[in-house]
Amino acid sequence: MAAPKKPQDHKPKTGTVKVHGIELDVSPEALDDFELLDDLAALQNQDGSRLPSILHRLVGDQFKPVMDALRGENGRVSLESATEFVQELLESLAPNS
């Protein structure tokens, strides 16, 4: 008889995560945010204008260093690099990934 399966942990990962070589500290409180849920729902409905808000909510005071790390030679943060970063950050925080 096989041993019973352990229940999977569906809690989001928090603490230190590394995205694009950038180490970030994400607090549990950052994910327990009703307005973040609203931003994520809007993003699912193709409202990309919520990406900066999502990033602010998740990384807090680390926002400027992230932007500086993503900044291109022209001094701007491209939509593509920022979108990829936020997507990878969300994936790194997703449970069971």
Per-residue CA distances from 29 to 2, 16, 60, 68, 72 (Å): 38, 14, 11, 24, 31
Strand blocks (E) in 1-97: 15-19, 22-26
Portion of the chain with pLDDT greater than 90, in percent: 75
For residue 79, pLDDT beyond 60: yes
Please say if the pLDDT value at position 12 is more than 80: no
The 10s digit of each residue's pLDDT in 26-77 is 998 899 999 999 999 999 999 999 999 999 999 999 999 999 999 999 999 9
Full-model pTM? 0.80
What b-and-e string marks burial along 58-72, b requiring 16 or more CB atoms within 10 Å of the CB?
A: bbeebeeebbeebee
